[in-house]
Amino acid sequence: MSTRGPRLAPLAVLAAALAGCAGPEALLDARGPSAANTATLWWIMFAMGAAVYVVVMVLIGLAFWRGRRRDIDDPALKVRDEDTSPAVRRLVIFGGIVGPALVLLVLNLVSVPMGQAVGDRGASAEGVEGYAEEDVVVNVTAEVFWWRVEYPGRDVITANEIHIPVGEEVRIRLTSEDVIHSFWVPKLAGKIDATPGHTTELVLEADEPGRYRGRCTEYCGIAHAQMIIHVVAQERDEFDTWVEQQQQPQPQPATERIEEGRQVFFGSSCVYCHTVDGHGPPNQIGPDLTHLASRETIGAGIMPNTRGNLAGWIVDPQAQKPGNLMPGTQIAGDELDALLDYLESLE
Ligand code: HEC
Ligand SMILES: [Cu+2]
């Protein structure tokens, strides 16, 4: 075994900690008002924690320094109850009780109102009543191991990708169909649980256009780590265009090849679990595929939506995402090819 391992361990911890400062899921790189609040609170807590740490370390250093030449058996060093000096008593009272209480008080004074501010952004109105028509409300249902995304009043159903207009408060109404999941897009807002039989609300607001990554943050089963969500923030007109496009039904297959693929799709097991244009089970087990080709990823964000990835996914989804609820399909050659043409036509 390498003897360098233990000495490098603190570096590994530091690297893991610093990974929170940048990258697609960096809390400290906030791009929305809620996340900015959280980031500020984080810095305050970090600064106070660091200050306490430094004070304690200096005191420990001083104790070592002053005690280094003394004989540990020297009876003068033994502290007896009756001779604790007033100075020692004061040190215990201020250093051990008053000091920590003050630190905790300040932290509470800062964090409670901030938490309130973040929480207030999630109103608890039931249903879409009470919202103006142009308000964007998104019903998100967590499933093992993907996200069902619906826009009530707009007749849009998609999966694993939430489109929102920039600079507007978007209400995410979150629930779960099976176990407890949790929704967290760190750059935009704090996380919130998705609980079966209960709806929780969260307000998402993005300051600038972009693609923000988030994930399920409550262990929910074997493919939990592969349950990714993307929030796509767009200017309002682009968002409206996206909504219009998602509302369109699929046109008749443009080519014979696509029609062949459509028949493969509706002739195989796919329709037991997936819906295209309302054709399929009412409570589909899998994501709605009506506008599959307009999504950038498949498998809940785990890979780009390319022809090759689609083929691999259909034949053996368990290889890409072990434990997910889609079984592999015995399909190959010409049939698979036509099916892929069909899926790629679902813009
Ligand atoms: C037993 C139900 C079931 C069957 C049958 C099934 N699927 Fe799926 N499918 C799922 C589930 C569940 C998911 C979501 C998996 C995940 O991401 O965890 C999924 C995901 C997908 C996705 C990715 C969608 C996205 O947006 O991420 C595609 C594409 C897909 N299935 C195509 C097919 C095709 C084509 C067939 C038929 C050959 C098929 N499926 C058969 C349940 C099924
Ligand atoms: Cu989950």
Note down pLDDT in tens along the chain; length 347 residues: 455 667 777 787 777 777 667 788 888 999 998 899 889 989 999 999 999 999 999 989 998 888 776 777 777 666 666 667 787 788 888 888 998 999 999 999 988 888 777 766 554 444 455 677 788 999 999 999 999 999 998 889 999 999 999 999 999 999 999 999 999 999 999 889 999 999 998 889 999 999 999 999 999 999 999 999 999 999 999 999 999 999 999 888 999 999 999 999 999 999 999 999 888 777 689 999 999 999 999 999 999 999 999 999 999 999 999 999 999 999 989 999 999 999 999 99
Residue 82 is predicted with a pLDDT of: 62
Residue 301 is predicted with a pLDDT of: 95
- Residue of 162, 216, 226, 273 with the most ligand 1 atoms within 8 Å of its CB, for mutation: 273
Instruction: Name 154's Cβ contacts closer than 8 Å, sequence gap at least 6.
Output: 243, 247
Full residue range of the structural domain in which residue 23 is found: 13-120
Residue 77 is predicted with a pLDDT of: 66
Contact 221/179 with Cβ under 8 angstroms? Answer: yes
Residue 92 is predicted with a pLDDT of: 84
Tell me whether residue 97 is in a domain. yes
Instruction: Identify the domain boundary among 120, 155, 173.
Output: 120
Backbone angles phi, psi at 346, to 5 degrees: -85, 70
Contact 133/99 with Cβ under 8 angstroms? Answer: no
Between the two ends of the chain, the Cα-to-Cα distance in Å is 55
- How many domains does the structure of the chain reveal? 2
Which residues are 149's β-sheet partners? 140, 158
Tell me whether residue 191 is in a domain. no
Instruction: Identify the domain boundary among 104, 120, 136.
Output: 120
Tell me whether residue 150 is in a domain. no
Tell me whether residue 324 is in a domain. yes
The string over 212-238, giving b where at least 16 C-beta atoms fall within 10 Å of a residue's C-beta and e elsewhere, is bbbbbbbebeebbebbbbbbbbbeeee
Q: What is the C-alpha R_g of the chain?
A: 28
Contact 275/266 with Cβ under 8 angstroms? Answer: no
Going from the Cα of 176 to the center of ligand 1, the distance in angstroms, rounded, reads: 19
User: Strands 297-298 and 228-234, how do they pair?
Assistant: unpaired
Please give all residues whose beta carbon lies within 6 A of any atom in ligand 1, as ranges: 145-146, 159-160, 223, 265, 268-270, 272-274, 285-287, 292, 295, 298-300, 310, 313-314, 321, 324-327, 329
Residue 124 is predicted with a pLDDT of: 47
Tell me whether residue 22 is in a domain. yes
Instruction: Identify the domain boundary among 120, 150, 172.
Output: 120
Ligand lying closest to the C-alpha of residue 195: 2
C-alpha to C-alpha distance for 170 and 192, rounded to whole angstroms: 15
Tell me whether residue 199 is in a domain. no
Going from the Cα of 302 to the center of ligand 2, the distance in angstroms, rounded, reads: 14
Kindly report the CATH number assigned to the domain that includes residue 310: 2.60.40.420
Atom of ligand 1 nearest to the CA of 161: 26
Tell me whether residue 212 is in a domain. no
Tell me whether residue 138 is in a domain. no
Going from the Cα of 88 to the center of ligand 1, the distance in angstroms, rounded, reads: 69
Strand order in the sheet with 210-216: 161-165, 228-234, 210-216, 181-184, 192-194
